[in-house]
Structure 1
Amino acid sequence: MKRNTMKDIFLTFVTKMFYLGGSFIISVLLARLLGAEGRGIVAALFVLPNLIINLADMGIRQSSAYMIGQKKYTVQEVFSSSLVLWLLASIVSILILLGYYMIPSTTQYNWGLIAIAISLVPIKILETYYYGIHQGKQQIEIMNKRHIISFFSRLIGVVILVWILSTGVYGAAVATLLASASVVLYSFWTLKDTVKFKLNYKKGLPQKLFRKGIVFAMVLFILNINYRIDILILERFVSAAEIGIYSVGVGLSELIWQLPTAIGTVLFASSTNSTSDLDAANKAAKLLRFSLVFLVSGSILFALTSKWIVPFIYGNEFQSASEVINLLLPGIILVVIIQILHAALSGRGYPLIGIRIFILAIIVNVILNILLIPIYGINGAAISSTISYAIGGFGYAYVFAKKTDLSLKDVLIIKKEDLNEIKKALKLKK
């Protein structure tokens, strides 16, 4: 049966907005219930496991969807082979984390919290592998329901464990674990009649899945390191309470990413079907120009009001998060350049374009964090991130322009015809 693509995009977008709104509510609840210190412990606890998960995922989600879509292998063969990789990735990831946490100077957590964080790894990897199967089978409704189930599972966990039972950071950590476990169980249940949960080595298939996906996984891993390395460095220099304040500022700032992320997801699929590289490039540049106009305007308004919004929502304890937000916003806007343009080039088969820029941005971020955090604390981390994001954003815009034979002006600067289209869309014709 032919799918209604626009309907799928719309429902996916609505679901994403619902999920983000729900995540925001959970963030506020945790800040109010745990305070800055508890919020900081929970935020820092999952940083390294999530980075490991991004790498251990190995892009199998994308490659599984591709293999199923190509119909060269059955869904069962793809899933069974991916489970072989899941087992190996989980074992290696757990050993890496155990080795890290056994170094006395690297962590402030007890083994109860560490056990919860490590337990998340195999569950989360399996969650992403299941997503690839749903994606390959074009089960858009199930994919959207997974987000809703994840939100409600975590919300219920936070309310019961943290609010009612007062289990503190342990309850918050377990709630995160339960959210992923619920999604995995739901995927298992929806696929139980068509896909069996069994490891089966199909000769050559695990290697194909790995080779197809690892490029995407490496780029995503590098990008995520740059977005999260500041928390790992902050752990060495500031208190958990300050990390909690910083994480609230980061979380609110990163809400700005969400619309461009949705655009990038659609653009990736659209780019794979474009008639030419130039067509895909022009479409991406136009979307970026539109996005930047609205993002800059919204960010200025956000920056002007953040000193009232933050304490009103999170409490006076998080007042200084408004400074973090204002320092991060310029960098957050520039990260959007990467999100939109990288999606377009990846969809055309160029995921590694600009990887040197990403690595340079990470190096700059690490050096500046080490230099500035001891002097300026969490504000130093925000400054470091913004400078790093600026290097990544402008650097990738240059690489994109060079690759597509467009000028930087065409990529970044709004045009008169763009403004006319916006006015037309808003029905503001003169």
Structure 2
Amino acid sequence: MFRRIVQTLGSTIGIFCISFLTSVLTARYLGADGRGILASWLLIATVSAGLSQCGFHQSSIYFSRKLSKNKALPFFNFSLFIVVTLTAITGAVIHTFIELSAVILPLICFSVVYSLFFFLSNILQIEKDLKKFNIVKLVYPLVILIGVLLAVFSENINLQVALFSYGFSASLCAFVMLVYFIKRYKWTTPTLTLKRYCAFSAKYHGTAALGILVNNIDKLLLISLIPAAMFGNYSVAFATSRVIGTGINAISTVLFSQFAGEASEKVDPFTRSFRLAFPIFLLPTAALSLSAFFWVPLVFGEDFQPAALLFSILVFEAFLSGMGWILAQRFNSEGKPGIVLLRQIISVLPIGLIFFVPSGYDIAITMAYLMLISAIVRLILTAWLYRLSFSEVDIIPRSSEFKELLSHLNSKVKNVVR
């Protein structure tokens, strides 16, 4: 499992570096206003796509492991149809709700493309080595970066070109994955009924949908409350702060891929990952937060000076949210998504306080603090539910485990040198 974590983490770091460079280029060439509009398109596409996944990919992985030993993807064509249809409807509803100035038809097409990309790439987690999953996750931002760079070098960079680069990359990856699944897997599992499949998917979907709202409700609210330039600052701060979350999420992704649908009485893989990851990721989180006022405007430009304080808050939110998700993955892997749903519902409540903020307060800064409070509540609640469900939750870091980790890394380095 350690090897898979290292591979996924390496891929994740590469993904973030590529995405970060793309973010810097779009911020500098489009400005705060243009970056805000680009972020609004991506927000609606990702949220509508995420809300329309229906838990099908988690259910497919779970039942494929349980019933067909990874040889079949149950109700694959049915899932694709439902996901695409719901994405179109959800995108139209969100567009109407936030009164975005973008033309609705291109926006819906953009959202559908992202929905297919999300659905297919998530199902790739069915393969435990995660090689193809990591390749797709790396190719997607790389194609976007190539498109943006070509536009920059040809001095033709604008909002439309940036949007095309994102859409083309998602379309290309989705097409290749679809061809792969058609050739590689059967689409039926004889012992599984559609009713059971949908019922089980619904349990996962409740958790996932609320997670998407938790991660995006701040932006969905802010997009109609603040000017495009300020939303551009917030989106840059939020996206950049995920540098910590991407590393932690690599661990949680491997945990789910490794243990989903496989009954185990071992607490160790989840709590041990938590104990090791907490201090390792806390140090860079603090360093990035404290230095944000120096490097954020230097990298993104003076238009993004307000993003520095936002980043310094949101990077801690990303850290705490990721740590809570490591523990929560045990519930998901053992087919208990309802428990994760409960912690999501309770933790989102503090964000509602944004409606009671007195006039004169900075709404974006206030929202960042509320997101941090929500992450703290989510982590504490997850640890408590973990204790109730498994009778113990040993999350205090141990020096012996770090010595073992260092010894393991040292042996790996020696083998590479030899």
TM > 0.5? yes
TM superposition shift of 1:314: 1.0
**Structure 1's 167 and 202: CA in aligned 2 closer, same or farther, altered over 3 A?**
farther
Q: Deviations over 1:262-319 (max 9, x none)?
A: 1112222444587743x22x43223212222122222221122111111221112112
Number of residue pairs matched? 410
TM superposition shift of 1:194: 4.8
Q: What's the counterpart of residue 376 of structure 1?
A: 362
Q: What's the counterpart of residue 337 of structure 2?
A: 351
Instruction: Pick from 105, 117, 125 the counterpart of residue 127 of structure 1.
Output: 117
1:156 correspondence with 2:150: no
Q: What's the counterpart of residue 163 of structure 2?
A: 173
Q: Check the 8 A contact 1:223/1:358 in 2, yes or no.
A: yes
**Structure 1's 163 and 243: CA in aligned 2 closer, same or farther, altered over 3 A?**
farther
**Structure 1's 381 and 166: CA in aligned 2 closer, same or farther, altered over 3 A?**
farther
Q: What's the counterpart of residue 222 of structure 2?
A: 234
Q: What's the counterpart of residue 24 of structure 2?
A: 28
SS of corresponding position for 2:100: coil
Q: Check the 8 A contact 2:234/2:310 in 1, yes or no.
A: yes
Instruction: Pick from 374, 392, 395 the counterpart of residue 388 of structure 1.
Output: 374
What does 1:49-64 correspond to in 2, within 5 Å? 49-64=45-60
Give distance in 2, aligned partners of 1:135 and 1:295.
24
1:264 correspondence with 2:260: no
Q: Check the 8 A contact 2:285/2:315 in 1, yes or no.
A: yes
Instruction: Pick from 72, 75, 84 the counterpart of residue 78 of structure 2.
Output: 84
Deviates more, 1:126-135 or 1:146-155: 126-135
Q: What's the counterpart of residue 102 of structure 2?
A: 110
Q: What's the counterpart of residue 178 of structure 2?
A: 188
What does 1:67-82 correspond to in 2, within 5 Å? 67-70=63-66, 72=68, 78=73, 81-82=75-76
Q: What's the counterpart of residue 38 of structure 2?
A: 42
1:142 correspondence with 2:125: no
SS of corresponding position for 2:357: helix
Q: Check the 8 A contact 1:90/1:125 in 2, yes or no.
A: yes
Q: What's the counterpart of residue 248 of structure 1?
A: 236
Q: What's the counterpart of residue 416 of structure 2?
A: none
Q: Check the 8 A contact 1:33/1:163 in 2, yes or no.
A: no
**Structure 1's 396 and 71: CA in aligned 2 closer, same or farther, altered over 3 A?**
closer
1:324 correspondence with 2:295: no
Give distance in 2, aligned partners of 1:373 and 1:190.
54
**Structure 1's 375 and 149: CA in aligned 2 closer, same or farther, altered over 3 A?**
same
SS of corresponding position for 1:57: coil
Give distance in 1, aligned partners of 2:279 and 2:111.
39
SS of corresponding position for 1:231: helix
SS of corresponding position for 1:179: helix
**Structure 1's 94 and 371: CA in aligned 2 closer, same or farther, altered over 3 A?**
same
1:209 correspondence with 2:197: yes
Instruction: Pick from 83, 90, 101 the counterpart of residue 96 of structure 1.
Output: 90
**Structure 1's 140 and 386: CA in aligned 2 closer, same or farther, altered over 3 A?**
closer
Q: What's the counterpart of residue 414 of structure 1?
A: 397
Amino acid at match of 2:237: G
**Structure 1's 292 and 94: CA in aligned 2 closer, same or farther, altered over 3 A?**
same
SS of corresponding position for 1:151: helix
Q: Check the 8 A contact 1:327/1:383 in 2, yes or no.
A: yes
Deviates more, 1:138-147 or 1:238-247: 138-147
Give distance in 2, aligned partners of 1:207 and 1:167.
49
**Structure 1's 200 and 355: CA in aligned 2 closer, same or farther, altered over 3 A?**
closer
1:287 correspondence with 2:273: yes
RMSD: 3.2
Q: What's the counterpart of residue 398 of structure 1?
A: 384
SS of corresponding position for 2:254: helix
Amino acid at match of 1:82: F
**Structure 1's 83 and 185: CA in aligned 2 closer, same or farther, altered over 3 A?**
same
Give distance in 2, aligned partners of 1:419 and 1:72.
38
Give distance in 2, aligned partners of 1:102 and 1:360.
28
Amino acid at match of 2:256: F
Amino acid at match of 2:88: I
Give distance in 1, aligned partners of 2:112 and 2:188.
18
SS of corresponding position for 2:91: helix
Instruction: Pick from 283, 286, 295 the counterpart of residue 297 of structure 1.
Output: 283
**Structure 1's 372 and 346: CA in aligned 2 closer, same or farther, altered over 3 A?**
farther
**Structure 1's 149 and 128: CA in aligned 2 closer, same or farther, altered over 3 A?**
same
Give distance in 1, aligned partners of 2:184 and 2:406.
49
**Structure 1's 192 and 356: CA in aligned 2 closer, same or farther, altered over 3 A?**
closer
TM superposition shift of 1:124: 2.7
Q: Deviations over 1:362-396 (max 9, x none)?
A: 12112236526861232111111111111111121
Give distance in 2, aligned partners of 1:235 and 1:178.
25
TM superposition shift of 1:345: 2.4
Q: Deviations over 1:378-424 (max 9, x none)?
A: 211111111111111112122212322225xx32x334544554665
Which aligned segments of 4 or more residues in structure 1 are displaced greater than 6 angstroms?
A: 199-204
Amino acid at match of 1:109: S
Amino acid at match of 1:246: Y
Give distance in 2, aligned partners of 1:273 and 1:68.
9
Q: Check the 8 A contact 2:348/2:374 in 1, yes or no.
A: yes
TM superposition shift of 1:160: 3.7
Give distance in 2, aligned partners of 1:97 and 1:64.
24
Amino acid at match of 1:314: F
TM superposition shift of 1:47: 1.9
**Structure 1's 178 and 162: CA in aligned 2 closer, same or farther, altered over 3 A?**
farther
TM superposition shift of 1:339: 1.3
